[in-house]
Amino acid sequence: MLGKLWEQEQLRRWGREILADYGIQVAHFIPGRVRLKALALKGNPSLAQELTRLLGVIKGVNAVEANPLTGSLVIAYDAAELQTPDSSRRLGEACRCLVPHLDHTKLLQLLSWL
pLDDT in tens, 47-58: 999 999 999 999
Round to whole Å and give the CA distance between 49 and 20.
Answer: 22
- pLDDT tens-place string over residues 69-107: 999 999 999 988 888 889 888 888 888 888 887 776 766
pTM, two decimals, is 0.81
Give the domains, in start order, of the chain with CATH numbers. 2-112 (3.30.70.100)
Q: At what angle do helices 85-95 and 104-112 cross, to 10 degrees?
A: 110
**In 31-77, at which residue ranges do the beta strands (DSSP E only) sit?**
33-38, 61-67, 72-77
pLDDT at 93: 84
CA distance 10 to 99: 21
